[in-house]
Structure 1
Amino acid sequence: MSPGSDDVHVLLGAYVLGGLSDEDHRMYSEHLRTCGPCQAELGQVSGLPRLLDLAGPEGGPHLSDGPAAVPEPLATEQGDARVTTLLGEVARRRRRRRAWLTALAAAAAVIFFAGGAWLGRSLGTTATPTAPPAAVAEHVAVAALPGSSVRIDVALVKRGWGTELDIDCEDMPTNGELALWVIDAKGRAVTAASWRATAAGYSRVTGATALSPNEIQTLEVRTGTGKVLASARA
């Protein structure tokens, strides 16, 4: 806000007539404390509310047909011209605000009806769900090492987070712990699944690893004591 601009004149008139919002009134009051030109202009039009009260809805006694005492002038001709200008500015400001609100309401109505038409068409159309593509599994037969008769098949399924490993085991030890280890190209081994042996010697387990299928070099099935029962190159 700069003294002498049109915006200052408009706010000054609205300030005198009480047409500002609470926030604008507070901001303009703070501005008046430090702005000498605005303070001088305010002194010239400070009698405007009293003039409007004297005029009243019928034009006031000095504008009526009957005899009445002429009140003493409350402003100079220059001040009256200033008042007229301020009133015109306030009126134009209010007309612009009403026009803006009308345009905004019209735009909101267009969006509302357009959205309703689109929603109606969407509700009337039944979407056919599409099934995700089936994951491709790569089966690896893990060969038993000498001295072991286990039969193990591992299916490697590529996932976004790594690899899912579906393990089918037969003729396994009937007690103790068992585990599937995956080894990468650098020889680092991590456990992908672990389970406890069953009395029937059969197990079906699902494991997981952060390695992708092409990063897995070797699969090993070990006992809880670390003995390798079967191994295979992936």
Structure 2
Amino acid sequence: MLVGAAVLAVLVALGVVLVPRLTRDDGPAAVTWHAADATSGVVATADLVGKSWGTELWMTIENMPKGMRCKLIVHDRSGRTEIGGWWGTDHAPDERIPGSTSFPVGEIERLDVVVDMTVLVSVRP
């Protein structure tokens, strides 16, 4: 009986310590931005997820030219830029493409999807 009570006390203590850590959010809730470019016909959706190290990016992009390499350029509100990812354009329209930046979500001004130095679509809040 005493051993059972001790085990129960340890389990409760572990629950108090572990549950908040397992359910902790690393940053603000995910936000979704969407844009369509009338000239290129490219349509992009970006899910931005705040993390302690910056922002995790998940892109869904439609109507991309085939057989190209593209990059995601992330612009922050103070004028700095980072490359958030590189990938080939031969992907399914519904495929989620990962990327990342050291900029926090709240500091990101826009995301540019670029092929051959041409911005195909700019995604903004």
TM (norm. structure 2) is 0.77
Alpha-carbon spacing, 1:196–1:122, altered in 2? closer, same or farther (3 Å): farther
Specify whether residues 122 and 208 from structure 1 end up closer, same or farther in structure 2 by C-alpha distance, changes over 3 A only: farther
The residue correspondences of 1:152-231 to structure 2 (distance < 5 A) are 152-198=44-90, 200=92, 203-223=95-115, 225-231=116-122
1:27-46 alignment, distance < 5 Å: none
With normalisation by structure 1, the TM-score equals: 0.44
Q: 1:176 to 1:190 in 2, by over 3 A?
A: same
Structure number with the higher strand fraction is: 2
> 5+ unaligned residues in a row in structure 2: which ranges?
none
What's the C-alpha RMSD, in Å, of the aligned pairs?
Answer: 2.5
What amino acid is aligned across from residue 132 of structure 1 in structure 2? T
| Deviation of 1:233 (Å) | 2.5
Checking the alignment, whether the CA contact within 8 Å between 1:169 and 1:202 is kept in structure 2 is yes
**Offset of 1:182 from its aligned partner?**
0.7
Give aligned-pair identity as a percent.
29
User: What amino acid maps onto 2:52 in structure 1?
Assistant: G
Distance in 2 separating the partners of 1:203 and 1:189: 25
Asked whether the equivalents of residues 170 and 203 of structure 1 are also in contact (C-alpha less than 8 Å), the reply is no
Q: Gapped runs of 5+ residues in structure 1? A: 1-116
Alpha-carbon deviation of 1:173? Answer: 1.6
> What letter matches 2:32 in structure 1?
H
Query: 1:156, CA displacement in angstroms?
Result: 0.8
Please give the residue correspondences for 1:48-87 in structure 2 after superposition, counting only pairs within 5 Å: none
SS in 1 for 2:48: strand
1:192/1:178 Cα in 2 relative to 1: closer, same or farther (>3 Å)?
same
Distance 1:201 1:175 in 2: 14
* Matched pairs, number: 115
Partner of 2:30: 137
1:22 matched to which residue of 2? none
* Kept after mapping to 2: 8 A contact 1:142/1:219: no
Which structure is higher in helix share?
1
- Equivalent residue for 1:92? none
Q: Distance in 2 between matches of 1:122 and 1:214?
A: 47
